[in-house]
A and B are shown apart, each in its own frame.
Chain A
């Protein structure tokens, strides 16, 4: 028996097979993410443009130029504000929805289909729907408000027939935040559902035996148990949103003026549309420390969740 197994020894060596299995994927990732990342840093310290491809070292010039740029300051602030505000709403709605969708009820399958649509639809395509919903002239929302008497002559919100959702600074910001909440809530909900469904049933059974009611079980048992998962869901959607530019690209292109311009869009406009690769790279690199901090925080929470 031992001799036989010695025969195909290499194929039975756990560590060897493990390394063999893991290496191709690891290599691909290191090449395709690690290398561009280093290149991005190199770009940040160079004067590369679309026309001029040789990298000559210019030190911190790009980063300083970006940091002293007023537009960049505003863009950075807008990105952080959008991310933080939308997370509050996402977390509230996701909690409610996760509790709803971990229960059995009539029509659940269809309700779940409807509620998943905003997340399942490719972002840029869903934004087309919102572009029409928030249209300056034809917005169906405005039409409803007009019929209800909120708009039009003597209306409560405005004398105008339209609110100009994407053209007024405040409303444009509110619209972008609303749409982000609309499309990201399902993702956070699904992560929370995973957390809720991983609670061992014996704990819940015990609670039921002890006469714990629905709200009490929810608030005193389920919520504390899924708190780490909630932090993960939160950071996950924060990171996704922080790096997103699709929503504003389709809806507003950063306008009116700069009011909805976020970091990703700005780096696209400077780096690709403006052709200044070096400064574009420097702009997006400013996001990195924040993203890294969020990711590390998330991993620490996750490892604490495992210990439980």
Chain B
């Protein structure tokens, strides 16, 4: 733009300047009512030989209302541009240059033309329409166009107004989540929520908005803000996707947001990480993040900052997923073609989430394409997937459907005879429908179904299944207030059956069903305060175990642990307060109320004695729906950010959390028979708090992000189990539970390079997690009541994940993971006692398995990058665990011919090649 001005300027200095008076022979009579610049200019050009030169984008806000008779052009223009920043210059060649702010000099002699009235606009009474006026919301697609927001007035009233709206993908119409909007050169900014919605308070008048979104081309919009108003911004996808690798939602969000310990990953990043079977895996990527560990390979669970595996709330579009893995944990239960992005909250957990102690993993699925039908498919060695999406009503309603299945049975058939009768299969389906009722109302429906079945080398068949459905309704009350109301049902069940021996054939079932209701409100109170408030309720229905004989011959005695019911409700209020440009405080409280409901029979134990069968005083039977026990407690969530400079900030946070549902698992790795238990009068809710501090710095134009975070966390009433506890079909589970206290602390170092040929991240984490069981009433103590390392305590952990792009079509990914081996308890000696040989165990977790090391490599070959072609294809070829290191997964000891020997079990103990073919259409 500047170059055009310059050209015009240079050109104009060679003009023979003429005085405006020489043209006064030509007089104009015109009558304009709200005429645009082109109407205005066309009219004048048609009545004379003048030629007008101007930039339409600069003038698109101008409306001319003017009635003159027989006036020279100069007077007409003076009147038309009165009280505006527009000026004009008329050359001797009857050329008229319309400019804004700066007047073009048509000759060298200065001062010939007086710039017309640049006096400040006088205050005039203008109606202030702060109310949300119904009008067509412009789709702002062009960078150079000037968009007018609100009710246009000739003069702009000083002060501030609220701009709200949506950011969408221009191609699919999908919401762009986590995009940031801010005004150049100020620190005012906002980010879009999961619906692409934003609301920002800005000074009225002309503004340039900078818009950045994940995987989107940076863009800007020019607006004139008259009063409160709306704007829909459409962004273009970064087509040259290989060029950009963005890990955070916004290049500066890591520095500017008030939150700590939050990681946002886009599916594009997830897809670059090599996995064992070549299919992008959401959960495996989570494991590469600092502060996240697991007990070993191929496990469902992950541990965040010292928390147990059941202390993570895993949400798929708001639906709680109880078992997020397929095939013994080899695959995540999330379809990489449907997932849009994930967000992991390790420290600053927003008030709207609760019910788990350690983290929230919020997985968001894509919305279907609202404009055209598209789809994708992927073929791997063990799994295939397909997804289709498209509009049901163009620009209003869309659907997305994805399915995955496995065909691994062929592989099992190749195994030796004794394994031949093994079977394993799974599938999952996702369905998402989004519908825009009108400007103010949107509804979203998400459905998820997954099922796993396996029968390995024995006649015992296992199966488990997740079923979820959520309906969300988003309503905008006005620019400042909107609500999301959702209701859903989540179900998880498993079943184990055996038919090997007709006499002992059985069928064992477990299931949990929860019905949710949630309402979240966001209120942009002012440009300094954003309020979040709402309430949620979850009704749990747990069937802890039903054991039945299988077949007529079976002599098994039926058994059923009585079903459990509870209601977990919460009310929350949070405020994000921008105290100054540099200081932002986010503070909130979430009040939890938990009711354990009847029908149930509760054992009453003698106080201050171990809860065991010996100490049951009596039991009380409660009727259906009766509130047996109520636990209530507030959760506090506070975090603050102070900007030290534009690309450097320091943050601190404190939060407390409560958890009312517990996974019962006393084996090292999560096994298929683990069950969930609700807090009851004898099992207190778990609770914990965490304080954290972080330092964030960006370098090289925000392409390198660095952060250091330290945290200290306490866990209380964490569940551990007595030795030899039997968890399944246990009618008195409280007798086998020990309340344990925990502490965890650590430092996480992360450096990310987000752009360039080489991009990726590298993290080092030093973290410790200790548990202590010192409850004198527990009946037994572990390690004499001293602190001992938790199963997933891995002090040193290093991860590197990098991608190097040779050309736009070829890129290679390489990653390395190292961590200290996890602690184990080993038998260290044997002795004879009470008539038989017994083993002597070390202190709990006194030893460690060997350190873990793995490196993987993959090549991604993209088809050509032409935008317009019927389908795009890509290949992913790679090797998992290149060095073939036999990392120990588990160790165990068995007696064979009188000698006790140790064994270690390794999974993926050799380099594993993989290949995957993907198409997009």
Q: Are A and B associated in one complex?
A: no
